[in-house]
Amino acid sequence: MGLVVKFLSEPHAGEEITIGDDKDVVTFGRAIDADIGFPPDLDVVSRDHFRLQRELGIYKFVISREKPVFANGRAILDGEELDKVTTIQLSGPTGPRLRIERIDGAQGNMPKTRVLARGQDIGDFAQQTQAGGRRLRNALALAALAIAVVAAGVYYLNKDVQTTAGQVAETQGRVAQVSQDVATTQSQVADISREVAALNQKVPSMEEAVQGLGKKTDLAALIRENKESVYLVAVMSPMGEWIGRGTAWAVQMPDGTRALATNSHVAEMFDQIGHELPADAYMVAIQPKGPDYKRLKVVKVKLHPGYLAFQKILMDMMEKRKELKVRSFNFILGYDVALLFVEDPSQVAQPLKLAPPESYNALIAGQEAYLIGHPAEGTPGTDWMRPEPNSQAGIITGLTSFFLTRGSDAENQLVQHSLAGAGGASGSPIFNAKGEVVALHSAGSFKFLEMPGQDQPVRVDAGARIQYAQRVDMLRELIDGAADARLADYQKMWADEANAFLRTPDQLLATWVQLFREMAEPNPGIDKVGDFAAPMDVYNEKLKAKVALFKIKVEAPGNYLFVARSSDGRNILANAYDAATGETIAIGQGGGPVSFPSPLPKFDGPREVLIAVVDDVPPPKAGEPEQPPATAVMEAWHGQLKGK
């Protein structure tokens, strides 16, 4: 497997460098010995900016947080795998651009196995324990979650009256039946009263719904009444060209002043000016109203506090995913709402009407929805100097939490919809049939395609026609100043949802054994040496902890996996020693209920291995009873790693 690296920007635009399959590490930077070199005066590139390291038949990025590398507008994660063709940019918009193509060698007819790690030894799949062995931590860069998974840019639109009509017709039938039964039983009346009360929580007004039967939403009137309050937001260069763009719309603050609402991932471009974006850039909001097309300069932004806090929860889950402690998961970035404040708030257009709780809590799949915004990606778009918004109609397709599961009304803040769109529509208001804003569009379902003549993969709609929006209650609490007070409740809710993705100790133990099986030579594969169990009741003065000791006889040459778990789910650590010499064979990885020596030791002949499994439960505080010892359950497996 080799690489072809092509420079897409000056000073070496058009040049190609071929890296043969004899190099396991490819360096990029200004250093004189870099494989892919840059001029000494190109100070946006570091001496050793990043590397590509080949492990187990794939290349992975080796990246420092202080030396960012971007692909398709997002920051690449340390340890991320290199795609077949990847276009990257170093440091930001002004940095050099490269196209890296992987040249795969012959692989035979065996499908590739996806390896969840950094190297061939299982130990490379886990983080090093910190001194004291209390916990693994290696936080991912926050910017890495401006990620790959959920790019901004989709559109929304809905139909609402027909679904409501069906509900009301059904309700009318029930009311008629109740009228016949009232004379015979008072208890039935009480039951029906409770049923009607529950229905009223979902249908704001029965009378209003009945009056709306047969009526069609006047979409043209809705657009005409609201479009001049929907602004195109752009970060501009001094040359008059836009760098990034989105959509924002007028809202009224509690003190009567006006501001603009949008997504946090749009608003955070304001704070990137002078860092990821040029220092002389500026952010403006442009009203789609001629002949002057009023331009308002943004002077301050306010992001929902849950936006960054939710990303920290996801970072922790991604870290646990690297350790295989959680199963695979998908998510949409949450609490992606923000406010923009302009130099002269009195110039902001008429505020849009925010949906009250009885409207946004009553959202159901099938309701009409409408969007007004400024999509641009993949379309001719609009003249940003004289913008004209685009409008869409569609339906609500589902309501879930940001972990994509159905919960209570409080949790179902991710509005899924069918409104088509493109990049630039981020932040667009989504209306119900009454003209109330029920959500802010934030993300779409995309896939990336290599296109002839294009330096970068083209982002196209994934075809499922499922897009994503942030329910308006998060914006309401930001406007009212209640968002900070809600954060603790949100964090508890996220923790509960995240715990549902954790693997049980038995599942985690089985995962490591399966990983060993995939990494080992298929013939003869791996075989179990034995199962062992012992209480962690021997106190070790040096470790200041209780341990369980195992003596395991190693017979056949090859690699060995020693993996242990605690019987009650408490955290443990493990260390392995050569019983003959007393030398440490491997340092135990811990931080959870499953621990294993790492990297996988290799033995050339018979010997006795001593495994110490350490109870990592902190000692009790004064006055608290001591926790009874748990049992350490150990499995030992033998095999031969591929290529070893």
Q: Tell me the per-residue pLDDT of 4-20, one tens digit each, with 9 for 90 and over.
A: 999 999 888 899 999 98
Tell me the DSSP string of 3-14: EEEEE-STTSTT
Answer yes or no: do 475 and 535 share one domain. Answer: no
Pairing mode, if any, of strands 437-443 and 429-431? antiparallel
Query: How buried is residue 273: exposed, middle or buried, by Cβ count under 10 Å (0-12/13-18/19+)?
Result: middle
Q: What is the predicted pLDDT for the residue at 637?
A: 94
With respect to residue 165, please indicate whether it lies within any of the assigned structural domains: no
**Number of domains making up the chain:** 3
With respect to residue 445, please indicate whether it lies within any of the assigned structural domains: yes
Q: Residue 515 corresponds to which tokens in the numbers above?
A: 């990983």
pLDDT in tens, 233-263: 989 887 777 777 889 999 999 999 999 999 9
Q: What is the predicted pLDDT for the residue at 208?
A: 47
Answer yes or no: do 544 and 475 share one domain. Answer: no
Is the pLDDT assigned to residue 531 strictly greater than 80? yes
Q: Please report, for the domain that includes residue 456, its CATH number.
A: 2.40.10.120
With respect to residue 118, please indicate whether it lies within any of the assigned structural domains: no
pLDDT in tens, 55-110: 877 889 999 877 889 887 678 888 888 888 999 999 877 889 999 998 875 443 33
Per the prediction, the chain carries an average pLDDT of 78
The C-alpha angle with vertex 503 and arms to 500 and 508, in degrees rounded to 5, equals: 175
Pairing mode, if any, of strands 572-578 and 584-589? antiparallel
Q: Distance between CA atoms of 447 and 457, rounded to whole angstroms?
A: 9
Answer yes or no: do 342 and 299 share one domain. Answer: yes
Is the pLDDT assigned to residue 136 strictly greater than 50? no
Answer yes or no: do 464 and 519 share one domain. Answer: no
CA dihedral sign, ordered 309, 314, 317, 322: negative
With respect to residue 171, please indicate whether it lies within any of the assigned structural domains: no
Answer yes or no: do 307 and 431 share one domain. Answer: yes
Answer yes or no: do 436 and 405 share one domain. Answer: yes
Domain encompassing residue 47 = 2-112
Q: Please report, for the domain that includes residue 76, its CATH number.
A: 2.60.200.20
Is the pLDDT assigned to residue 616 strictly greater than 90? no
Answer yes or no: do 485 and 533 share one domain. Answer: no
Is the pLDDT assigned to residue 171 strictly greater than 50? no
Residue 432 pLDDT level (bands cut at 50, 70, 90): very high
Q: What is the predicted pLDDT for the residue at 118?
A: 33
Q: Distance between CA atoms of 264 and 333, rounded to whole angstroms?
A: 10
Answer yes or no: do 300 and 329 share one domain. Answer: yes
On whether the pTM is more than 0.75, the answer is no
Distance of CA 305 to the CA centre of its chain: 16
Highest mean predicted confidence (pLDDT) among 50-54, 61-65, 119-123, 586-590 = 50-54
Last residue of a domain, one of 91, 112, 133: 112
Q: Residue 255 corresponds to which tokens in the numbers above?
A: 């003190």
Q: Distance between CA atoms of 311 and 402, rounded to whole angstroms?
A: 11
Answer yes or no: do 519 and 584 share one domain. Answer: yes
Q: What is the predicted pLDDT for the residue at 488?
A: 93
Answer yes or no: do 530 and 403 share one domain. Answer: no
Q: What is the predicted pLDDT for the residue at 557?
A: 93
Q: Distance between CA atoms of 97 and 178, rounded to whole angstroms?
A: 71
Answer yes or no: do 491 and 590 share one domain. Answer: no
Answer yes or no: do 493 and 599 share one domain. Answer: no
Q: Please report, for the domain that includes residue 576, its CATH number.
A: 2.60.120.380
Is the pLDDT assigned to residue 319 strictly greater than 80? no
Tell me the DSSP string of 163-188: HHHHHHHHHHHHHHHHHHHTTT-HHH
Residues 6+ apart with CB under 8 A from 483: 304, 305, 306, 474, 477
pLDDT in tens, 340-359: 999 999 999 999 999 999 99
Query: What average pLDDT score do residues 534-553 get?
Result: 89
pLDDT in tens, 96-117: 999 999 887 544 333 343 333 3
Tell me the DSSP string of 522-568: TTT--EEEEEEEEES-EEETTTTEEEEEEEEEE-SSEEEEEEEEETT
Polymer length in residues for the chain: 644
Question: 423: part of which helix (H) or strand (E)?
Answer: none
The C-alpha angle with vertex 416 and arms to 411 and 418, in degrees rounded to 5, equals: 170
Residue 477 pLDDT level (bands cut at 50, 70, 90): very high
Last residue of a domain, one of 481, 499, 517: 499
